[in-house]
Structure 1
Amino acid sequence: MTRGRFIVFDGVEGSGKSTQLPLVADWIATTRAAPLVTREPGGTPLAEQMRSLCLQDHQEELPKTAELLMMFAARSVHLNNRILPALAAGQWVLCDRFVDASYAYQGAGQGLQGSDIAQLETLVVGPHQPDCVFIFDLPIAMLMERVKSRGQADRFDRADAEFHKRVRATYLERAQQQPMRYVVIDASASIQTITRTICKELEARFAG
């Protein structure tokens, strides 16, 4: 059986990743079996509990290192219990965020060392890297406007513009370093334009 494809949608807050996931999933389902649509942190009942701990406010301080470890603990559960079995069964996987988010948010955003994140990536993810990563990008002013227009905001939504600038810069830097695996998406375009761009890219890369 042919292994499924592992596709990640990642990028800055308010960029429309969650809107695009079901649209692209519907397109994939027209030519093959419906893909698994999942998210990080989360994706399984246990990992979703970890997500709540990571994103909600606490009465005591959550150390940055603890946050990083929790993200990778949730990722380990998600990867082993849901993503890898689906890929082994030949199913495509569309995931809202993956390891790049740790470099952007816990690394650039929170100030943790990239080398420490890389060690955890090797331990938890190993060779199971995505086949393609779409980085959704927005200018900071538009990003902040979209975040403010949301309803209930989590800790990352409430971060200041400088935090989001560092996050955005890291995403773009990682995409530039591996242009064969990353695709930067102009998230200021229309929903229909973005969907067409993603589907065209997937067709070109993984036709057949």
Structure 2
Amino acid sequence: MSHGKFITFEGIEGVGKTTNIDFAKAWLEDRGITCHLTREPGGTPLAEEIRQLLLVHRDEKVSPLCEMLLFFASRAQHLAERIKPALDRGEWVICSRFTDATMAYQCYGRGMDLQMVQQLAQITHADLMPDTTILLDAPAEVGMQRAWDRGETDRIEQEKIDFFQRVREGYLKMAQQEPNRYQTVNADQPLLDVQIDLAKTLESLIQEHLI
């Protein structure tokens, strides 16, 4: 049995990650590929508890370092209990967010040291990086307006627009630095067009997997 592929979806709020991840899973399964769908932070009972700690509104200010360490604590459990076992079974894992999100939000958004995140990533998953990262990209104003239109927002979604502009710029910079791993899809277009572009990316992944 071959090792599965690890696909991550990234992007700021409101770019359609949930909708397009569901599309990707259905598209791949229609072609006979078993897919395991998960998310970060979260993915296991313990990791989901950490997710609640991270996203719930609270009077106490959460320090950027505490926030970053909680993300990696959740990730370590998620990798051990869900992601790696699924890949070892030959399944493709589709994950909403991964370490790139920590770099985008905590480093580019909050100003945490990038080298520190890279060191934590080395400790947590030195043997595993996504095979492909699909960046759903849209201007911060567009994405956040969609998120705000949905109604109730979590603690991070209540940040000001300039925070999400920095996060988006971080994602675009990472995509530029790793063009072989990143596939950027314009999320500021009608959903049908987004999914046409996404299907092209998924088709190329299948062809690579067959080689």
**Do the structures match in fold with TM over 0.5?**
yes
Q: Deviations over 1:117-155 (max 9, x none)?
A: 111010012120000001111112212321220211011
Structure 1: gaps (5+ residues): none
Aligned with 2:73: secondary structure? helix
SS, match of residue 8 in structure 2: strand
Aligned residues: 208
Instruction: Using structure 1 for the length normalisation, give the TM-score.
Output: 0.96
Paired with 1:120 and 1:107, the residues of 2 have a C-alpha distance of 13
Partner of 2:165: 165
| Matching residue of 1:13 | 13
Q: Is the 8 A contact 2:12 2:140 kept in 1?
A: no
Instruction: Supply the AA of the counterpart residue of 1:104.
Output: A
Counterpart check, 1:83 vs 2:83 = yes
CA displacement at 1:206 relative to structure 2: 2.8
Structure 1 residues 140, 181: closer, same or farther in 2, change over 3 A?
same
Find the counterpart in structure 2 of residue 66 from structure 1. Answer: 66
Alpha-carbon separation, structure 2, partners of 1:206 and 1:31 = 9
Q: Secondary structure at the match of 1:36?
A: strand
Structure 1 residue 205 displacement after superposition: 2.9
Match of 2:174 in 1: 174
Structure 1 match to 2:144: 144
Letter in 2 for 1:10: E
Q: Are 1:128 and 2:128 matched, yes or no?
A: yes
Instruction: Describe the SS at the equivalent of 2:156.
Output: coil
Give 3-state SS (helix, strand or coil) of 2:43's partner: coil
1:12, distance to aligned residue in structure 2 (A): 1.0
Give the stretch that moved more between structures: 164-173 or 31-40.
31-40
Decide which moves more: 189-198 or 111-120. 189-198
Question: Aligned to 1:144, what secondary structure does the other structure show?
Answer: helix
Stretch of structure 1 that moved more, 165-174 or 196-205: 196-205
* Structure 1 CA distance for aligned equivalents of residues 146 and 168 of structure 2: 15
Which residue of structure 2 lines up, in the alignment, with residue 183 of structure 1? 183
For the 8 Å contact 1:10–1:97, the answer to whether it is kept is yes
Write the distance in 2 (CA, Å) between the matches of 1:93 and 1:185: 19
| Maintained 8 Å contact 1:26/1:34 | no
The answer for the alignment partner of 1:37 in structure 2 is 37
Indicate whether 1:155 and 2:146 are aligned.
Answer: no
Distance in 1 (alpha carbons) for counterparts of 2:196 and 2:80: 31
Q: Calculate the TM-score normalised by the size of structure 2.
A: 0.95
Once residues 118 and 74 of structure 2 are traced to their aligned partners in structure 1, the CA distance between those partners, rounded to angstroms, is: 16
The runs of at least 4 consecutive aligned structure 1 residues that moved more than 6 Å come to none
Paired position in structure 2 for 1:196: 196
1:56/1:154 contact within 8 Å kept? yes
TM-superposed CA distance for 1:160, in Å, is: 0.7
Unaligned residue ranges in structure 2 (runs of 5+): none
Q: CA RMSD in A?
A: 1.1
One-letter amino acid matched to 2:15: S
Give 1:11 shift: 0.8
Which 10-residue stretch deviates more, 39-48 or 186-195?
A: 186-195
AA at the equivalent of 1:160: K
Percent same amino acid among aligned pairs?
38
